[in-house]
């Protein structure tokens, strides 16, 4: 699979949510038609972590959003070439033209994050 620029939208399918800011998807390469399963870290938001005291909250959030969106078609907009320290692609996911990150924040399951403060 080629490296995508930040302006390319890649067709994908939602497989499941790991937590309120990480989504496991199947991305479809526009040049060759092959698909690859990848983890996407949604840019600009933060959520509860799956380890420690937030484990039950994270599990509830991941089930809620997986039940809502698993199997749905979406678009991935890569905002970083390469991956973060955990090997996830950093980007934005859009379902029917709406930002998944914005929906997660509006629901209260995630919050805006700017790397300087935990909550914005």
pLDDT tens digit string along 3-29? 444 567 899 999 999 999 999 999 998
Question: From CA 10, how far away is CA 7, in angstroms rounded?
Answer: 10
What's the mean pLDDT in 107-117?
A: 82
Specify the DSSP element, H or E, that contains 42. Answer: strand 35-42
Fold of 9-112: OB fold (Dihydrolipoamide Acetyltransferase, E2P) (2.40.50)
Residue given tokens 């038609």 in the structure block: 33
Beta-bridge partner residues of 36 = 27
The pTM of the full predicted model, rounded to 2 decimals, is 0.86
Residue 80 tokens, joined:
């970083």
**pLDDT at residue number 8:** 73
pLDDT at 120: 45
Torsion on CA atoms 76, 82, 87, 91, rounded to nearest 10: -30
């Amino acid at each position: 699979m080629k490296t995508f620029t930040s302006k390319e939208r890649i067709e994908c399918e939602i497989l499941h949510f790991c937590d309120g800011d990480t989504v496991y998807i199947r991305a479809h390469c526009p040049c060759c038609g092959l698909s690859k399963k990848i983890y996407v870290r949604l840019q600009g938001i933060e959520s509860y972590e799956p380890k420690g005291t937030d484990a039950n909250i994270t599990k509830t959030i991941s089930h809620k959003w997986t039940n809502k969106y698993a199997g749905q078609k979406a678009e991935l907009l890569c905002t970083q070439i390469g991956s973060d320290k955990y090997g996830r692609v950093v980007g934005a996911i859009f379902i029917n033209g709406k930002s998944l990150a914005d929906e997660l924040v509006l629901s209260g399951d995630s919050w805006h994050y700017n790397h300087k403060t935990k909550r914005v």
